[in-house]
């Protein structure tokens, strides 16, 4: 039988942006490298993208024998910076948009989402990063 020995606690979800995802002979990937709101369920996809990017950089390292060389780690960090920031911005924006309590903002949000739903090109463009 399990028994709680401390009172329950909660911690609010928040935007997490580290100052760097690489350090001396270290590359962070997945949730260790970045956080996104679970609203969109994209955290694991970002982690897969991190792993793929790091593997690609290391496989194409050419004459650089040291897998921990700063040059390679910086390539990895540059490759992942834009997709991670874009997903963080989208998920944080959606969380704020759906968390807003002002009725006028909820109405504006619903009108905007309905408009996107009626515009297949815009809808597809917005969905592409999540589908990769």
Contact 16, 35 (CB under 8 A): yes
pLDDT of residue 132: 63
Give the 3-state secondary structure of residue 58. helix
Q: Where are the domains of the chain?
A: 37-131
Question: For residue 98, what pLDDT band results from cuts at 50, 70 and 90?
Answer: confident
Q: Which carries the bigger pLDDT value, residue 32 or residue 129? A: 32
73 burial class (0-12, 13-18, 19+ CB within 10 angstroms)?
Answer: buried
Q: In this predicted model, what pLDDT tens digit does every residue of 11-44 receive, in sequence order?
A: 877 777 899 999 999 999 999 999 888 877 788 9
Mean pLDDT across 78-98 = 90
* Mean pLDDT computed over every residue of the chain: 90
Residue 131 has pLDDT above 80, yes or no: no
Q: Which DSSP string do the residues of 63-131 spell out, in sequence order?
A: T---TT-HHHHHHHHHHHHHHHHHHHHHHHHHHHHHH---HHHHHHHHHHHHHHHT-HHHHHHHHHHHH
pTM attached to this predicted model: 0.79
**Which residue, 54, 56, 30, is CA-closest to 42?**
30
From 97, 90, 79, select the one nearest 36 (Cα to Cα): 90
DSSP per residue, 30-55? GGGTEE--GGG--HHHHHHHHHHHHH
What's the pLDDT at 100? 85
Percent of the chain residues topping a pLDDT of 90: 57
């Amino acid at each position: 039988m399990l028994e709680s020995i401390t009172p329950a606690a909660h911690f609010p979800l928040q935007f997490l942006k580290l100052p760097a995802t690489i350090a001396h002979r270290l590359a962070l990937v997945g949730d260790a490298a970045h956080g996104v709101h679970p609203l969109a369920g994209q955290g694991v996809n970002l982690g897969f993208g991190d792993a793929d990017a790091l593997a690609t950089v290391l496989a194409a390292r050419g004459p650089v024998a040291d897998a921990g060389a700063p040059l390679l780690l910086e390539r990895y960090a540059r490759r992942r910076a834009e997709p991670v920031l874009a997903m963080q911005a989208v998920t944080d924006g959606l969380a704020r948009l759906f968390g807003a309590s002002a009725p006028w903002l909820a109405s504006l949000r619903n009108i905007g989402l309905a408009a996107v739903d009626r515009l297949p090109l815009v809808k597809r463009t917005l969905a592409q990063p999540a589908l990769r």
